[in-house]
Structure 1
Amino acid sequence: MKQVPLLFLTVLLSIRVRFILPKRDNSSSCRSQTEIQLFVNRLDSVESVLPYEYDVFDFCKDEKEKRPSENLGQVLFGERIESSPYKFKFKSAATCQPVCTKTYKKDSKLDAAKLDFLKMGMQLNYQHHWIIDNMPVTWCYDVEDNQKYCNPGFPIGCLVTDGGIAKDACVINAEFNKKNTFYVFNHVDIKISYHSGESEGWTGDRLVAATLEPKSIKHAVDKPPSCDNGSPMEVPVEFKEDVSITYTYSVTFVENNDIKWASRWDYILVSMPHTNIQWFSIMNSLVIVLFLSGMVAMIMLRTLHKDIARYNQVDQVNWIKNPGRFNITLKTNNHEDAQEESGWKQVHGDVFRPPRKGMLLSVFLGQGTQIFIMTFITLFLACLGFLSPANRGALMTCAVVLWVLLGTPAGYVSARLYKTFGGEKWKTNVLLTALLCPGIVFADFFLMNLILWVEGSSAAIPFGTLVAILAMWFGISVPLTFIGAYFGFKKAAIEQPVRTNQIPRQIPEQSFFTKPIPGIIMGGILPFGCIFIQLFFILNSICFVLVASYFTVTDYHWWWRSFLTSGFTAVYLFVYAVHYFFSKLQIIGAASTILYFGYTMIMVLIFFLFTGTIGFFACFWFVNKIYSVVKVD
């Protein structure tokens, strides 16, 4: 009977992984004399949280629009892929080919609204995201130190302010110099590289790279388009006369047998400066790891070794066993010194006393365990290459499915700890484990989705997808949580190395830095510092919690304190997110601001449970090891 749930989970996970693993793209085979379809994705901006579908802007549309099927991860990320009117014949170069012409009449309110929305996109630096053969079309240009930067998107256009300041992409062209004017990138030079199989014994060609260069060219309305040395396509800020924008493209094909199809994404990753390994951050993190590990080692070698040596003098003590209790008779001259207990041994009879609000703590730990296992498996599969970037949305799909299937360990950990705490309301415990934290996240997510829906953003989740998420939650995750809780309550409570006294002992007076609130606030500083430099943050969090746990073992309310000390890192993360919002971002609009902080709160809650769970179990293991060294009866 015990093997049924495990078998069920294994089968479901294997089925899901079967669809997650990257598969060979049949479209990468023979390309001779075939049509290449360019797909467009949503447009987004670093200055706005709201992404928009391609059709929302007044661009050229495909008459026979096709939308590839999207998985759960793509829908949650707001990806909206559709076909475009840009179609090419393989190895057939084209120069200044017209796509369509958009005309805006100054007397038409509808045209004015369309043009205003296009101007808004240029002002906020919204970016196109094009796809060829399931590969992003990148805009590569030179930066400092003769390095090449490749951006997986390119801007709609740019703006020169009334003060003559060229914003964003307007700095790339000296001709963009007219004040209070928008410049539309209405022409693209596309270069497609392919790998030929003639020299390798196989027939056909495979696309291995696709780049473009956006340009702004003003075409004559009544003449065929010409892309040679044309003046930029200007759109005045004030709409006082008719505006016509002609969209064109040029495409060339280049044979490149140095790039293998299996590694065709590498040029995108290698060329990005921000993806280079930050050696300074690595060294900084290593120093922090060594520093914290040295602190733990010093404490263990000096303080604990000294205490244990003193307590091991029990060889001079005769233990006389009486029915129902233990008495101690000392043969040493200094009876009072031998009987005195101090430090971490002072509260050996209370250290495992059940915490206050043990129900809530067990629920948090159950959810944190679920998140921790989900994160570990997802990162493990990603590191092995199973979650290929070619399989769009696979990372998010894998994370969501794993979270749903990992309800069993969440219920088990929550129930087992709640039973250890002496709790008896097992129904309430299971329901809170299954519904509390996911309910908070879903409520926040639903509110953000309403705002996205009102704003017409492509990131708004369709109603059917919301129903599917609820079905997965209540139909799979909740039952699995009950199964895990059943085995957790059926299992015996966690055995403690020492017994708990019936009457709590008074907690000794503590210094300011070891009191709960100051200790919790300071506890998250070093873990946050490691998170800030994006390396070894899990290891560093565990090390610091071990240090903090020793200084607080004289306080038997360590259960919540160990959880909150490491979990307080999430508070620093939120503070930094607020600082980043006001100092780095230029987000405009109340909706974008609400969305930013709404999604930030979801991230902070998940991170709070994640780090808090790691800290609790690290401290739990540490305290158990301390009180297992010397058995106290």
Structure 2
Amino acid sequence: MGFCRSLALRSLISAIVLLLFTHHVHSFYLPGVAPQDFQKGDPLSVKVNKLTSTKTQLPYSYYSLPYCRPNTIVDSRENLGEVLRGDRIENSPYVFTMREPQMCKIVCRQTLDAKTAKEFKEKIEDEYRVNMILDNLPLVVPIQRLDQESPPVYQLGFYVGLKGQYAGKKDEKFFIHNHLTFTVKYHKDMQTDSARIVAFEVKPFSVKHEYEGKWTVNTRLSTCDPHTKRMVSNSNTPQEVEANKEIVFTYDVEFQESEVKWASRWDTYLLMSDDQIHWFSIVNSLMIVLFLSGMVAMIMLRTLYRDISRYNELETQEEAQEETGWKLVHGDVFRPPNNSDLLCVYAGTGVQFFGMMLVTMIFAILGFLSPSNRGGLMTAMLLLWVFMGLFAGYASARLYKMFKGTEWKRITLRTAFMFPGSVFALFFILNTLIWGQRSSGAVPFGTMFALVFLWFGISVPLVFVGGYVGFKKPTIEDPVKTNKIPRQIPEQAWYMNPLFSILIGGILPFGAVFIELFFILTSIWLNQFYYIFGFLFIVFIILIITCAEITIVLCYFQLCSEDYLWWWRSYLTSGSSALYLFLYATFYFFTKLDITKPVSGVLYFGYMLIGSYAFFVLTGTIGFYACFWFTRLIYSSVKID
């Protein structure tokens, strides 16, 4: 008990030290979501975020391009999730005055050399977008639908520039968006005359600005007249990106009063997807569940009830020997499987994942993980994963002791290191590739140290605490005794082949989630918001039921065929749905994404491999424990001499 207390105290101290450490590196705080009131004339500072592209999936900091800079660049504090997402939030030279429109405001003048012109062209070629933030709202570009009466579609950020032909020339040129027309919408309080910002929109333009005489502080552009509040007629010439060419960056800003209240300002971002498709996903999944539930009900209420009644009514040993079916393997069904240690490790890791997913979705449904808290979801998942190590150690040690294991420290150590170690190794390789591209998505050393500290300083001690408590619990007793000599397994029919039944078992769990999976992949790889956690929670519950039921059905068929090697097969049956998830991710890559760079492709498949591996552990554990409960239930219901 002293060892357990020491580890618990050590993990608590480690957690406190980590929180103090990350306060200086990347704090874990969630950005405040309290409304901010602005009076007329108050300054509004626009912040810039990373440059993003769905073609490369490699984010870059805003000032990696020679954009206009403020006198001093100040980095905003970022939480762990923001850093892992590649966010780099900094101040900008764009400063507005609340409810005071501006026209043709000059930001700066830049002359590109060959290197900077090439950088702009590369970013335009890869369709990079510029992301900005005002009052914690991301910048969006409104795009009108073909149906004029429908509300516009909003895209996050504006393109760095565009590529195309101009003035009848055949060769394509690169043009930069150097003039931005901002629209800040606000909701006004009639009593106090204060206002709250409810929308931040922009329309980008490429304008070749002209001016007379030499450039001075008071230079007036001949292509943009702030007094007439319009571009003059000869300003239709776009600004080409070429070396030794001068670019003048300008912006307009207008303020519009809106009926949208501050509490509803995120609705525009979050209601972009069609709810009908999500309801179709739910209905599709429910049909699968009803089908499986019918099969399980038939097995449990009819077949099993009949089997148990018949087995309990047998009068002589000769009659029992003539019987076939699942009762005949009662002396071998609880025999420890091959590689039982590995099964204990995977079962414990799956419990850790299940707890993390369940608590995360509950928090999300209750509104604690609002999208205004950038990185909050990833930060919460990492912290929950770390603290759920307590249950991982407990589950693996309990199962290990049931298999007559004695070295609980060894099994606990494997639980603490095997899955996180393999994922961290792959993550480190992918991070090295990102670092080689000089992308802001590369995790800095300080954050990498924080992740390692989370793992070694908190997760590992908690896994040992859970393992100690679990191993001290009484051994789980089998409902029937195990024979000393293993029974020979009869030749199986082709459809009971392990590989075939395992692959068949994974289809239905994947079918229950694949529609919702499309929206999740879209939000991750196409830079869109996903916040329909109510639907996701329902799909998660359906996934649990589907994994449990398909594993129970196939386990029953296996035992009826007198094949008692169900331990690993129950884990792999529902876990095989991860194979279909990875195949679907491959299909999604070739049909929905426009990734051409090899490094970006490696990143996509690397991260999807990590996601599929985690899905395998989660679904496999659900199926395993469902089958474990089922076998104990049926064998405890029959009389065994």
User: TM-score normalised to the size of structure 2?
Assistant: 0.86
The aligned residue for residue 325 of structure 1 is: none
> Residue 31 and residue 537 in structure 1: after superposition, are their counterparts in 2 closer, same or farther (change >3 A)?
farther
Matches within 5 A, 1:201-220: 202=192, 204-220=194-210
C-alpha separation between the residues in 1 aligned to 2:211 and 2:580? 57
Deviation larger for 407-416 or 275-284: 275-284
Corresponding letter in the other structure for 1:265? W
Map residues 311-330 of structure 1 onto 2, 5 A cutoff.
311-314=311-314, 317=315, 330=316
* Alignment-derived partner of residue 472 in structure 2: 490
SS in 2 for 1:51: coil
Query: Which range moved further: 622-631 or 347-356?
Result: 622-631
CA distance in 2, matches of 1:409, 1:214: 52
Instruction: Tell me if structure 1 keeps the 8 A contact 2:114–2:244.
Output: no
Deviations 1:581-603 (A, max 9, x none): 23332212222122122212211
Residue 154 of structure 2 aligns with which residue?
A: 150
The whole-number CA distance in structure 2 between the counterparts of 1:228 and 1:371 is 61
- CA distance in structure 2 between the aligned counterparts of 1:529 and 1:562, rounded to whole angstroms: 18
- Matched position secondary structure for 1:128: strand
Q: Using the alignment, how far apart are the partners of 1:450 and 1:21 within structure 2?
A: 28
Letter in structure 2 aligned against 1:305: Y
Shift of 1:73: 1.0
Letter in 1 for 2:190: E
Q: Which residue of 1 aligns with 2:526?
A: none
Aligned equivalents of 1:177, 1:69: Cα separation in 2: 47
Q: Which runs of 5+ in 2 are unaligned?
A: 20-26, 213-219, 225-230, 517-538
For the residue of structure 1 that corresponds to 2:621, the secondary structure is helix
* Gap change, CA 1:360 and 1:368, over 3 Å in 2: same
Q: State the 1:121 CA deviation.
A: 1.3
Instruction: State the secondary structure of the residue aligned to 1:235.
Output: coil
One-letter amino acid of the counterpart of residue 149, structure 1? V
TM-aligned CA deviation for residue 539 of structure 1: 2.9
The counterpart of 2:552, out of the listed 534, 546, 551, is 546
1:153 Cα offset (Å):
1.8
| Higher alpha-carbon deviation: 80-89 or 226-235 | 226-235
Match of 2:238 in 1: 233
Alignment partner, residue 170 of structure 1: none
Q: CA separation in 2, counterparts of 1:308 and 1:91?
A: 78
Aligned to 1:576: 584
Q: Distance in 1 between matches of 2:637 and 2:413?
A: 38
Q: Aligned with 1:533: secondary structure?
A: helix
Q: 1:581 to 1:34 in 2, by over 3 A?
A: same
Q: Does 1:140 align with 2:142?
A: yes
Shift of 1:466: 1.0
Q: Residue 195 of structure 1 contacts residue 207 of structure 1 at CA under 8 Å; is this kept in 2?
A: yes
1:195-594 mapped onto 2 (5 Å cutoff): 195-199=187-191, 202=192, 204-220=194-210, 222=212, 224=221, 225-226=223-224, 227-229=231-233, 230-235=235-240, 242-256=244-258, 258-270=259-271, 272-273=272-273, 277-314=277-314, 317=315, 330=316, 336-534=318-516, 535=539, 536-553=542-559, 554-594=562-602
Query: Residues 568-588 of structure 1: CA distance to partner in whole angstroms, max 9, x if unpaired?
Result: 111111122222223332212
Report the Cα distance in structure 2 between the residues aligned to 1:214 and 1:175, rounded to whole angstroms.
20
Q: Which amino acid aligns with 2:138?
A: P
Query: How big is the shift at 1:31?
Result: 3.3
Name the CA distance, whole Å, in 2 between partners of 1:482 and 1:184. Answer: 57
Question: 2:199 aligns to what SS in structure 1?
Answer: strand
Partner Cα separation in structure 1 for residue 62 and residue 359 of structure 2: 34
Distance 1:628 1:576 in 2: 41
Contact kept, 8 Å, 2:409 with 2:464, in 1: the verdict is no
Letter matched to residue 523 of structure 1 = G
| Deviates further, 424-433 or 529-538 | 529-538
3-state DSSP of counterpart to 1:561: helix
Cα 1:10/1:435, change in 2 over 3 Å:
closer
Instruction: Decide whether aligned partners of structure 1 residues 283 and 624 sit closer, same or farther in structure 2, where only a CA change above 3 A counts.
Output: same
Matched, 1:183 2:188: no
Shift of 1:228: 4.1
The 3-state SS of whatever aligns with 1:209 is: strand
Go from structure 1 to structure 2 and tell me whether the alpha carbon gap of 1:23 and 1:585 turns closer, same or farther (over 3 Å shift).
Answer: closer
Match of 2:50 in 1: 42
Deviations 1:479-530 (A, max 9, x none): 1111111111111221222111111111122211212111111111111122
Identical pairs, percent = 46
* Alignment counterpart, residue 118 of structure 2, candidates 84, 104, 116: 116
2:591 maps to a residue whose letter is S
**CA positional deviation for 1:203:** 5.5
| Residue 448 of structure 1: how far off its partner (Å) | 1.2
SS at match of 1:530: helix
Q: Is the 8 A contact 1:498 1:631 kept in 2?
A: no
User: Structure 1 residues 273 and 413, CA, compared in 2 at 3 Å: closer, same or farther?
Assistant: closer
Cα separation, partners in 2 of 1:368 and 1:304, compared to 1, 3 Å:
same
Which amino acid in structure 2 is aligned with residue 187 of structure 1? H
Tell me, in whole angstroms, the C-alpha distance in 2 between the residues paired with 1:195 and 1:128.
26
The CA deviation at 1:450 is 1.2
Alpha-carbon spacing, 1:228–1:611, altered in 2? closer, same or farther (3 Å): farther
Partner Cα separation in structure 1 for residue 402 and residue 313 of structure 2: 33
Contact 1:285 1:533 survives alignment (8 Å): no
**CA positional deviation for 1:410:** 0.7
Instruction: Kindly state the Cα deviation for residue 58 of structure 1 after the two structures are TM-superposed.
Output: 2.1
Q: Secondary structure, in 3 states, of the residue corresponding to 1:278?
A: helix
For the residue of structure 2 that corresponds to 1:88, the secondary structure is strand
- On the 8 A contact 1:181/1:234 being kept in 2, the answer is no
Verify the 8 A CA contact 2:154 2:269 in the aligned structure 1: yes
> Does structure 1 residue 53 correspond to structure 2 residue 53?
no
- Given that residues 21 and 386 in structure 1 are in contact (C-alpha distance below 8 angstroms), is that contact kept between their aligned partners in structure 2? no
> 1:242 offset after TM fit, Å?
3.9
Match 2:604 to one of 593, 596, 604 = 596
Alignment partners' CA distance in 2, 1:309 and 1:197: 74
Q: TM-score, normalised by structure 1?
A: 0.87
Q: Aligned equivalents of 2:461 and 2:613: distance in 1?
A: 23
Q: Secondary structure at the match of 2:163?
A: strand
The answer as to whether partners of 1:497 and 1:631 remain within 8 angstroms in 2 is: no
2:96 matches 1:88: yes
SS at match of 1:50: coil
The one-letter code of the counterpart of 1:298 is M
- Aligned residue identity for 1:217: V
Corresponding residue for residue 25 of structure 1: 34
Displacement after TM superposition at 1:263 (Å): 2.0
Runs of 4+ aligned residues of structure 1 deviating over 4 Å after TM superposition are 1-13, 18-22, 174-179, 274-277
590-599 vs 516-525, which moves further: 590-599
RMSD over equivalenced CA pairs, Å: 2.6
C-alpha distance in 1 between matches for 2:187 and 2:198 = 6
The aligned counterpart of 1:608 is 616
Structure 1 residue 194 corresponds to structure 2 residue 186: yes
